[in-house]
Amino acid sequence: MAIGRILVTGGAGFIGSALVRQLIAQTGAQVCNVDKLTYAGNLASLAEARHSPRHQFHQADICDRPAMETIFRTFRPEAVMHLAAESHVDRSIDGPADFIQTNVVGTFTLLDVATAYWRGLDAAEQRSFRFHHVSTDEVFGSLGADGSFDETTAYDPRSPYSATKAASDHLVRAWHHTHGLPVVLTNCSNNYGPYHFPEKLIPLTILKAIAGEALPVYGDGSNVRDWLHVDDHARALRLVVEQGRIGETYCVGGNAERTNLQVVEAICDVLDRLLPRSDGASYCEQIRFVTDRPGHDFRYAIDASKLARELGWQPQESFASGIANTVAWYLANEGWWRSVKDGSYQGERLGLAHA
Catalytic residues: 137-138, 161
Gap between the terminal Cα atoms of the chain? 51
Amino acid at 277: R
Query: HEC string of 28-51?
Result: CCEEEEEECCCCCCCHHHHHHHHH
Output the CA angle 223-228-234, nearest 5 degrees: 150
Contacts of range 343-347, beta carbons closer than 8 Å, 24 or more positions apart: 343/39, 344/39, 345/39, 345/197, 345/198, 345/199, 347/198, 347/199, 347/204, 347/207, 347/208, 347/213
Distance, CA of 125 to chain centre:
29
Distance, CA of 186 to chain centre:
11
- Considering only CA atoms, give the Rg of the chain: 20
Distance, CA of 290 to chain centre:
26
Helices vs. strands in the chain: H and E counts, helices first: 13, 12
